[in-house]
């Protein structure tokens, strides 16, 4: 898949995400406006690629990472039958260890179908999905200073909007 098709795939995914609310692991419901970090697992063997990812993650405030950022971890699955599940498990465990070791607070979804593989270039990048304006923006690592500022501004706006939303009423079970 070439880069153009990858961007079109991401745009189609954005259309699906922006259609409504979706559920994250653990049952957390979140509106789709968010920052998605595309991470190429193969780039873990590239020091410069890892530095770009870590620089980006360290620039994000913890609260924004936890609340508005999600990752999509791409990898190239092997062709040996029966080993694909094992490889996916290894990729997940390595990501979890990397995340903990570097205090990265956002989870990453594993792209087992290689849906986003065409979007990843030289270690990954950032996709901004703005639900309100229905705009998709993409930046590839390493980010320029102006791009990082735009991402931080976008996340700041998401944070402001989410603080204005009324909190959902809590359901209380009454005894029968």
Q: What is the CB neighbour count within 10 angstroms for residue 71?
A: 23
**Could you give the CA distance from residue 126 to residue 71 in angstroms, rounded to a whole number?**
9
pTM of structure:
0.72
Residue 107 inside a domain? The answer is yes
Domain CATH code at residue 8: 3.40.30.10
Q: Print the domain residue range for 131.
A: 3-164
* Helix, coil or strand: residue 3: helix
Residue 176 inside a domain? The answer is no
Give the model confidence (pLDDT) of 6-34 as tens digits. Answer: 544 554 454 444 433 444 445 544 444 57
Residue 29 inside a domain? The answer is yes
Number of domains observed in the structure of the chain? 1
Residue 172 inside a domain? The answer is no
Residue 155 inside a domain? The answer is yes
- Work out the percent of the chain whose per-residue pLDDT is above 90: 32
Residue 77 inside a domain? The answer is yes
Give the model confidence (pLDDT) of 51-90 as tens digits. Answer: 999 999 999 999 999 989 999 998 887 666 666 678 888 8
* Helix, coil or strand: residue 108: strand
CA–CA distances in Å: residue 58 to residues 39, 61, 83, 133, 161: 15, 8, 34, 27, 23
Opening angle at CA 108, ends 103 and 109, nearest 5? 165
Alpha helix locations (H) across 18-128? 47-59, 62-68, 84-101
């Amino acid at each position: 898949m070439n880069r153009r098709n990858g961007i079109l795939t991401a745009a189609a995914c954005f259309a699906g995400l922006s259609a409504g609310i979706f559920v994250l692991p653990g049952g957390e419901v979140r509106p789709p406006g968010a920052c998605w970090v595309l991470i190429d697992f193969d780039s873990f063997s590239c020091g410069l690629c890892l530095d770009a990812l870590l620089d980006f993650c360290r620039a994000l405030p913890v609260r924004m990472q936890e609340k508005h950022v999600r990752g999509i971890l791409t990898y190239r699955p092997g062709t040996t039958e029966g080993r694909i599940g094992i490889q996916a498990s290894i990729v997940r465990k390595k990501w979890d260890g990397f995340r903990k070791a570097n205090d990265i607070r956002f989870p990453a979804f594993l792209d087992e179908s290689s849906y986003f593989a065409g979007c990843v270039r030289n270690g990954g990048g950032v996709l901004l999905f703005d639900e309100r304006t229905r705009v998709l923006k993409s930046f590839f690592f390493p980010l320029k200073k102006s791009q990082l500022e735009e991402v931080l501004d976008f996340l700041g706006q998401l944070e402001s909007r989410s603080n204005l939303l009324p909190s959902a009423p809590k359901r209380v079970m009454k005894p029968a």
